Amino acid sequence: MKRPVLKYLWSYAVITVACGVYAVAFNWCYEPNEIAFGGITGLAQIINAVFGRPSIGVLIILINIPLFLAGWKLVGGHLLISSLYAMGVSSLMIDLLNMVHQFSTMEPLLASIYGGVLMGISLGMIFQEGATTGGTDIIARLLKLKVAWLPMGRLLMVIDLTVIVICAVAFRSLNTALYGLVALYISTIVMDGILYGLDRSRVAYVITRKPEEITRCIISDMDRGVTILEGKGGFSGQEQHVLLCAFKERQIVALKKAVSSIDPAAFLIVCDAHEVLGDGFRDPGKDDI
């Protein structure tokens, strides 16, 4: 009983820190430099710029209410509660930080780069803990149920692009949208790196007449598992052994050397792997995204 409580406390502590990073990114990089921000925060930024009130944090909460109600049954209780917490804390932190300190403008390109990195870190941390900041994050999470093969960062990018275009129209500045696109691209890369791992994985197919030797070498020297598949040459009709192996990107040189040294005539195919789950890689989670 004690362990689940500590797990939840740790999860909400991480979300709180991520919300703080989110608020710093917005108040330091986006708002003072009029860089277009996607999602509900971007819509709140537009409304606040046009009408001058209410505050951006309050607007975020008001716009999010119908979206949370719409996603109540689909996202589940834990996601709803943690997302409400993340949305509320991040919105309040934006307003509180704005009251405590007014950030000065900086070089827009620097603001786009640092803002994108900070925003990607914060959203990646929040998503990793099974929460969202509301708004388009909920929309993306719901879409993820239908298109599970598409990374979360890409889903958010598609949704946020529309808001960025609206921001450019509202601020009457093409640069606002262009810098916003730079920040959005960077945040997407950083977010997917946190969610799916910065150390990318590969999958190799090895067609060889020496499957036992290569298999032993991969298992002993690279500490990776191998699956032996039975194949047949389409032209020759000869029986062939096909080795299937998932490995870290940094191990590709070692794999090539091992295969070429044992069987120079082997046929090697290396493919990118979006995600590899299991022993030696990332453990699958219940609320994996």
d(CA 133, CA 117): 17
Average pLDDT over residues 238-265: 83
pLDDT for residue 28: 92
pLDDT, mean of residues 115-122: 92
Residue 274: pLDDT band with limits 50, 70, 90 = low
Instruction: Give CATH for domain 201-273.
Output: 3.30.70.120
Would you state the structure tokens that stand for residue 35, as one six-digit string? Answer: 């860089």
Lowest mean pLDDT among 31-35, 69-73, 193-197, 213-217: 69-73
CA gap 165, 42 in Å, rounded = 10
Beta bridge partners of 245: 204
Query: Please, what's the b/e burial string for 127-166 (b: 16 or more CB within 10 A of its CB; e: otherwise)?
Result: bbbbbbbbbbbbbbbebeeeeeeebbbebbbebbbebbeb
- Signed CA dihedral, 132, 135, 140, 143: sign only: positive
Question: What's the pLDDT tens digit per position in 97-110?
Answer: 988 888 888 899 99
Which H, E and C letters describe 166-199, residue by residue? HHHHHHCCHHHHHHHHHHHHHHHHHHHHHHHCCC
More confident residue, 151 or 121: 121
Read off the pTM: 0.67
Task: Give tens-digit pLDDT for 207-228.
Answer: 888 888 888 888 888 778 888 8
Neighbours of 71 (CB within 10 A): 19
pLDDT of res. 286: 46
Would you kindly state where each structural domain of the chain is located, as residue ranges?
Answer: 2-196, 201-273
Residue 60 and residue 134 in contact, taking contact as beta carbons nearer than 8 Å:
yes
Question: What is the CA angle 62-92-190, rounded to 5?
Answer: 95
Q: What is the mean pLDDT of residues 134-156?
A: 68
